[in-house]
A and B are shown apart, each in its own frame.
Chain A
Amino acid sequence: MPKLLVVDDETFIRMLYKKEFESDGYEVSLASNTDEALNMMETQQPELVILDIELGNESGLALLNRLRQKYRDCAIILNSAYSTYKSDFQSWLADAYIMKSSDLDPLKDKVKTLLAGDACGRRK
């Protein structure tokens, strides 16, 4: 069962994603901040991280940089309510950037694609 980690400071977002992805057959861990996320990475070793950018007072982009250096094979999707971060240089370290939406299909499709291996064969 593929393991996902959802990092978001919004409780209901975390709850929604857990329900959705678990219903699709994923094993979902949750983290609300950087420390929890790093802890989960160690203990759960997820294959894909869905990462919010504005984590309260913390930066999801800084966490992205740390995750990318330490967990090179882990796919990371930036998932934000903000479209402006898309052009931020730091966000290019992520494998994908999906805007938050009530329609979770695009996010689910991207998760599926990345876990299956993208067109360039970067993953798996």
Chain B
Amino acid sequence: MISVEYRNSTDDSVFDGFQQSLQSNPVGVFVINIEGRLEHVNERASKIFGYDSVEEAHGKPLSQLEFFFSQPIVARINQLLIDREPFKIHCFPGTNLAGHFAHYCLSCNCSLASEGHANGVFGIIEDVSDQVKRQQELKSRVDELSILSQISQEVSSAIDTEEVLKVILTGVTARQGLGFNRAFLFLLDDDSKMLTGRLAIGPTDAAEAGKIWSSLEQDDRSLPDILSLYQEESERSNRSLTDLISGMRIDITNGSLFARAMQERTPLVVGWETELDRVTDRILNRLGEKQVAMTPLVTRDRPIGLLLADNAITHEEITDHDRQFLKLIADQTAAAVERSYLYRDLRERAVELERMNRKLAETQHQIIEAEKMSVIGEITSAVAHELRNPLTIIGGFANLMNKNLDPGSSDTEYLSIIISETQRAEAVLTDVLDFSKASKIKDRPLELNSMIHQVCDMLSVRMGNGRGRIRLGLSDSELPLWGNPDQLLHAYYQILYALMQDLPAEAVPKISTYSLSGDCRMEICCDHAPQHRGDVEKTLMQYFGSNNNTKRLSLIVAEETVKHHGGNLGVESNPEEGPVLFVQLPLHKEIADA
């Protein structure tokens, strides 16, 4: 039998004190002899191994502790007796003889006899479960911070709302981070009264969860890795989970727990014991889980949605810490969603601006072209007019001379050349003037009452002798039109002129104007002279009746002008006023609205 000699021959009392300290040391100390049995065990070591006392442990074979140390560690201890190399295992899990599971730290070295040969193994064992737990907690916090940081990085580069939401929800369900099983996102409608289900991430059942999570189990996966894995592994389950909430609309004014979270803007954990209102109960039933954490998404003091997460697969309890961390994620989510909305608006504005810029460039080009044409037109017009008078004079006198010459005169031939060449030059001028005329008259804003006044003034001059008298009952407000001033004045003039010529002198017509359902309307009647109603009707029907084919050319042109401007004219029979001729044209909306 091998014994370990600690005794110092010069001082027995020191040795006794040392052995006593070893016995009560909080660290487990043990010695295994060359036969592989526990030779010395202090109280702590015997407790760690699961023996009731030091005595019970004494002499027990190492093989009895194989389930504690595991086969590789036992092999390592045995090897120590051969190679004498000390070793330390910083952390290993073990379950002792009493069934207690813990994490331990083990260091061993070889005990040597005075002759120099190995006579046993000296070991120190320590329960490091608290340290391990603290390390795990620390790792968990680091993971959480890492997830937050990665989410922050990912969403800062993501601009599409869907992409942002996917990053956030993946962060919520990433195993290294919060580790919720499933996450659901609801966004508030524009009227801020209803939450609408937008996106969900997570497995639909345990089998799917096992498959997805096992692929995520590898260490040090970054969020982008997880995102890409999620794309491949969980697209189908995410879709069916999203289908579960898509179209779901939750009223946030009805006092449900959802409404409370939104109104109070605080995160909530709904537990298995929480008393549920009807709405919340119905929704959680649909999601298939009664324990959830929910937190509102708030940005700039304005709620925009709600994040909901649960552990529907593992049924792990949601702690207060989980709730707080979910709140942190929600704050980031809100900011990211807000930013993505802003970006979306910005993008839409940019597209609109680009469209407007294109339009502006086109218009600018058209204006330049039109101005060029206008300038060319004006120059050619001015030149042509300046040339026409001399040509008239040259050609006119040539004609005059030609008439006065004797028929046989030799000058006749030359004068004929002058006359024909002058006429050719005049024909060219006419073509040039036709071109320049085309760009002169343009449509522009007009006002009906003002046009009626102009036409009436003109008619009274034209008709004379007391004829051409007209009674006016024009609208107090202006009646804006858009059109060609010359064409419309001509149309009104021709219509009134034709009517006035054929009416009896005593029948003074009345013109009234007013707006009617987006149109401006002019009416002509002879309401004050019932005795002439027959004549008036005959005249009106002659010129403006729908079945009439003998209209004057000027009236046909007038009618076409009115139609060309989007209006119409006709005759209506009014029991009080007799026959009424009306001309109706669209009001110029922009000016009228202004």
Contact partners of B462 in chain A: CB under 8 A: 68, 92-93
Contact partners of A103 in chain B: CB under 8 A: 395, 399, 423, 426
Contact partners of B430 in chain A: CB under 8 A: 83, 99
CA–CA, A87 and B434, complex, Å: 13
Contact partners of B503 in chain A: CB under 8 A: none
Check B394–A102 contact: CB distance below 8 A. Answer: yes
Contact partners of B391 in chain A: CB under 8 A: 102
Contact partners of B426 in chain A: CB under 8 A: 101-103
Contact with B along A82-118 (1 / 0, CB 8 A): 1110011100110000011111100000000000000
Check B486–A87 contact: CB distance below 8 A. Answer: yes
| A13 part of interface (Cβ distance < 8 Å) | yes
| A57 part of interface (Cβ distance < 8 Å) | no
B456-470 contacts to A (CB < 8 Å): 458, 461-462, 464-465
Check A84–B440 contact: CB distance below 8 A. Answer: yes
Contact partners of B388 in chain A: CB under 8 A: 81, 100
Contact partners of B440 in chain A: CB under 8 A: 84
Check A89–B394 contact: CB distance below 8 A. Answer: no
Total interface residues on A, CB under 8 Å, equals: 26
Report the minimal beta-carbon distance from B357 to chain A, rounded to whole angstroms. 37
Contact partners of A16 in chain B: CB under 8 A: 392-393, 396-397, 400
| B111 part of interface (Cβ distance < 8 Å) | no
CA–CA, A101 and B393, complex, Å: 8
Check B464–A89 contact: CB distance below 8 A. Answer: no
Contact partners of A13 in chain B: CB under 8 A: 389, 392-393, 396
Report the minimal beta-carbon distance from A86 to chain B, rounded to whole angstroms. 9
CA–CA, A68 and B458, complex, Å: 10
| B398 part of interface (Cβ distance < 8 Å) | yes
Contact partners of A82 in chain B: CB under 8 A: 381, 385, 433
CA–CA, A72 and B462, complex, Å: 8
Contact partners of B394 in chain A: CB under 8 A: 102
| B490 part of interface (Cβ distance < 8 Å) | yes
B395-413 contacts to A (CB < 8 Å): 395-400, 403
Contact with B along A51-79 (1 / 0, CB 8 A): 00000000000000100110010000000
Could you say which of A87, A92, A102, A104 contacts B493, with CB atoms under 8 Å apart?
A92
Could you say which of A81, A93, A102 contacts B395, with CB atoms under 8 Å apart?
A102
| A10 part of interface (Cβ distance < 8 Å) | yes
Report the minimal beta-carbon distance from B76 to chain A, rounded to whole angstroms. 114
Check A81–B392 contact: CB distance below 8 A. Answer: yes
Contact partners of A93 in chain B: CB under 8 A: 458, 461-462
| A20 part of interface (Cβ distance < 8 Å) | yes
| B437 part of interface (Cβ distance < 8 Å) | yes
Contact with A along B430-473 (1 / 0, CB 8 A): 10011001001100000000000010001001101100000000
Check B461–A102 contact: CB distance below 8 A. Answer: no
Check B389–A102 contact: CB distance below 8 A. Answer: no
Identify the closest chain A residue to B488 (Cβ): A89
Identify the closest chain A residue to B434 (Cβ): A83
| B422 part of interface (Cβ distance < 8 Å) | yes
Contact partners of A99 in chain B: CB under 8 A: 430
CA–CA, A26 and B480, complex, Å: 50
18 intermolecular pairs with C-beta atoms under 8 Å apart: A10-B393, A12-B393, A16-B396, A16-B397, A20-B400, A72-B465, A81-B385, A82-B385, A83-B437, A89-B489, A92-B490, A92-B493, A93-B462, A100-B392, A101-B392, A101-B426, A102-B392, A103-B395
Q: Give the B-binding residues of A (Cβ under 8 A).
A: 10, 12-13, 16, 19-20, 23, 65, 68-69, 72, 81-84, 87-89, 92-93, 99-104
Task: Report, nearest first, the 3 A-B pairs whose CB atoms are least far apart.
Answer: A102-B395, A81-B388, A16-B396
Further 9 A-B residue pairs, CB within 8 A, beyond A23-B400, A83-B433, A89-B458: A65-B461, A81-B384, A83-B430, A84-B381, A89-B486, A93-B462, A100-B389, A101-B392, A104-B396
